[in-house]
Amino acid sequence: MGEKVGKVALVGAGAMAECHVRGYHEAGAEVVAIVDRNPEAGRKFAEKCQLGKIPVVETLGELQRTAPEVQAVSVITPNKFHRPLVLEALERGLHVFCEKPPALNAAETKEMADKAKEKKLRLMFNLNNRARLDSQFVKRQIRTGRIGTVNSAQATWMRRTGIPGFGGWFTTKAISGGGPLIDLLHMIDLALWFMDYPEPEFVLAQTTHDFMDDPDFHGSWGSVVSTTGTTDVESACHGFVRFKTGQVLSIHNSWAELVKEEDIFVALQAKKTGVRIRCVNGQNSCELYAQKNGVSMDKSYRFQHDHDMGRTRAPENFIRTLNGEAEPLTTADEAVTLMRLIDAVYLSASSGRPVELGKESYHIL
């Protein structure tokens, strides 16, 4: 094994950066520099997180001149900037842990994955809900054969008033790539992970834009940036996916929809056991459903309160993976498959037709 990875830099000092810092510290790594186009924001973040007088620079080039000991970086920026920053970091020989979504689309994500393979570097993404205790429990049950093959799944993250950063980059398609489908992709990823990430074959979907021009539907995340800003993304998305394995997935993501309350869950129907995992106010729960001799054999499980939904354990896993102490929670190839599915959902919604996914292309049916 080579030198242990212990020196990390943050590229971006936004809201999610605190979780990255905590995760790296848990893994025994040290955040030794910050890259941010707003150095003052970077310095305030360093002070807030008690990182000391670490260098705060504006570019990756400056980072390597100022802190050549850095071996890996976190990319924590608006979605549009993931691809160029990840590609530059990999080109400079740095391992990368990138916030979700991986990029604006599958083509960008594949370019990043290919570059990581070319440079023989690790590229992982913050699909942090895989690190939740209930998610890990379900995955273990699947691996041991208790649940059996998953035939169908439902992935839901719906909000009533939850438009993030109203009028800012979240609601501007050119920067974010889309609305709740791409922003709240965690449950979709979780369902795919439980299904062993099958290749999608057909997608049928519809998006809606109700309430996207109404700031009363903003959420606590990001608050209101501008009541007259751009809001050209969907407010909700409903879709259905059939995979080449014959498995199927229903999708329901929304920021602004007239539902009773926010609900976040994945449900699975498998050959041996049904599953439903749910997160409400940081409290994770899991239910398993089975039938034996005409009797319902259901069990409920509760897990340690998880305020950050695995956002600390995910970057911790990144460092432990680099140091040979853990298996990776995510892979770049899975990220490409996830983004191909999302591309197809948007294409189906915009065309009003089903979409077939070829090996490297999409076909409107």
The mean pLDDT value for 177-190 works out to 98
Cα distances (angstroms) measured from residue 318 to each of 47, 112, 118, 192, 300 = 24, 17, 19, 20, 31
Helix (H), strand (E) at residue 48: helix 39-48
Could you tell me if 243 and 268 are in contact, meaning their C-beta atoms sit under 8 angstroms apart?
A: no
The mean pLDDT value for 239-257 works out to 98
Q: Which domains does the chain have, with CATH numbers?
A: 7-127 (3.40.50.720), 149-270+331-364 (3.30.360.10)
Is a pLDDT exceeding 90 seen at residue 68?
yes
Q: What is the pLDDT of residues 32-50, one digit of tens each?
A: 999 999 999 999 999 999 9
Residue 2 pLDDT class (50, 70, 90 cuts): low
The mean pLDDT value for 142-148 works out to 96
Residue 204 pLDDT class (50, 70, 90 cuts): very high
Residue 278 pLDDT class (50, 70, 90 cuts): very high
Report how far residue 21's alpha carbon sits from residue 31's, in angstroms, rounded to the nearest whole number: 7
What pLDDT, on the 0 to 100 scale, is given for residue 279? 87
For 296-311, what is the HEC assignment? ECCEEEECCCCCCCCC
What pLDDT, on the 0 to 100 scale, is given for residue 338? 98
Is a pLDDT exceeding 90 seen at residue 250?
yes
The mean pLDDT value for 255-270 works out to 96
Query: Cis peptide before 328, with omega less than 30 degrees from 0?
Result: no
Report how far residue 280's alpha carbon sits from residue 159's, in angstroms, rounded to the nearest whole number: 12
Question: In angstroms, how far is the first alpha carbon of the chain from the final one?
Answer: 50
What pLDDT, on the 0 to 100 scale, is given for residue 40? 95
Residues 6+ apart with CB under 8 A from 41: 13
Q: What is the pLDDT of residues 73-86, one digit of tens each?
A: 999 999 999 999 99
